[in-house]
Structure 1
Amino acid sequence: MLLHRDSKEYYPVSFLSLQPYDVKEQMQDWDEAFDWTDYFGRPGVEVYKMVVSGNDEIQGAIALARKEDHVFILLLEGAPHNRFGKTFKYVGLHLIAFACKRSMEIGHEGAVALESKTKPKLLSYYTQVVGAKHYGSGLMVIEEPIAEELVMLYLT
């Protein structure tokens, strides 16, 4: 459940397939460096939007690739109005927890990997806050016990 920064109320979330019209209608002011349309139609790639249940406004989005023994996060981004916890807090953690849940659903025991920008602040966030292991060159891996904890904390 997402925590609203000002009201301190929690809101349940849903993950739905991201569609081209979502990108066109709701994501124009998102980071221009990320082209979400690049991920549509790729084999083994799933693209999702996170919304507050009962509301169409996108709070975050994630693109996942199914690998042989894990799920790889290709891209994840919080909506501009959520950056730095402006409206809802913990958007990124919810997106990562969803990747862990998808990994569990497809039989990969929650194993998730991602390539972090090698900025020390991000690497520290992924290791200390998320619980991922850093394997060098920005490769971050989330294993089963941490995945289960993330799903429990952010999606139940």
Structure 2
Amino acid sequence: MIDKYEIGLDFEIDELTNSIKNVVSGDSFPTSISMITQKDLKLISKRKGWLFNWKQELGHPERDIFKLTIVNNQNIIQGLVSLEVKIDHVYMHLVESAPFNKGKEKIYSGVPGNLVAFACKLSFQRGHEGNVAFISKTNLINHYIKSLGAIHLGGRLMLIDTNTALKLVNKYYSNLRL
């Protein structure tokens, strides 16, 4: 059942890459994903241009927040995802690209896809066959069907199933075979 306070995710998949890509040069950069720290909270505030209140999100003990960074530049957060491991799937509460990775002037593409692929990878690692669920904003349901291969379960509930999750994980984690 959808919580009436659930706003729905509104990230857009700009492109599926095998890392993240500089939109000007076309250069790709390997990424890493790790849990955020208290120190990171100073970098991800609304004052710094982030849309969501990540400090508040961190207050939910059942959720883990992960940051996406470039391998040789761990101090700059490219994007964030809030995940909760459920009994049979991983639930994506929030996904957000860094302020400088949004819109026409973004620096890197591939950030949201990278974060979704990580959620799928975590689902496989936890024995949930790659299944990832999330609530979409109504106007983005078709976007997620086309760009991610997500399944519309009804209402605003979306699912990334095993086959789609495998494709995403293999795209972003080519050195990892599930």
Tell me if TM exceeds 0.5. yes
**1:66 counterpart = 2:96:** no
Cα separation, partners in 2 of 1:17 and 1:2, compared to 1, 3 Å: same
Q: In 1, are the aligned partners of 2:69 and 2:76 still within 8 Å (CA)?
A: yes
Runs of 5+ unmatched residues, structure 1 = none
Question: Match for residue 111 of structure 2?
Answer: 91
Structure with the larger helix share: 1
Question: Match for residue 108 of structure 1?
Answer: 128
Cα distance in 2 for partners of 1:73, 1:155 equals 19
Per-residue CA deviation, residues 37-95 of structure 1 (Å, 9 max, x unaligned), is 12325333111000011212000000001100000000010011111362111211111
State the one-letter code of the partner of 1:46.
D
TM-score by structure 1 length? 0.91
Q: In 2, are the aligned partners of 1:63 and 1:73 still within 8 Å (CA)?
A: yes
Question: Match for residue 138 of structure 2?
Answer: 118
Identity %: 37
Question: Match for residue 6 of structure 2?
Answer: none
Q: In 1, are the aligned partners of 2:20 and 2:31 still within 8 Å (CA)?
A: yes
Q: In 1, are the aligned partners of 2:44 and 2:54 still within 8 Å (CA)?
A: no
The DSSP-based 3-state class of the residue aligned with 2:138 is: coil
Cα distance in 1 for partners of 2:24, 2:160 equals 31
Q: Structure 1 residue 25: deviation in Å?
A: 2.6
TM-score by structure 2 length? 0.81
Where do 1:4-153 residues align within 5 Å?
4-27=22-45, 28-31=48-51, 34-55=52-73, 56-84=75-103, 86-119=106-139, 122-153=140-171
Q: Structure 1 residue 136: deviation in Å?
A: 1.9
Q: Which has the higher contact order (CA 8 A, sep 6+)?
A: 2
State the one-letter code of the partner of 2:91.
F
Runs of 5+ unmatched residues, structure 2 = 1-18
Per-residue CA deviation, residues 87-122 of structure 1 (Å, 9 max, x unaligned), is 111211111000000001111110000001112xx1
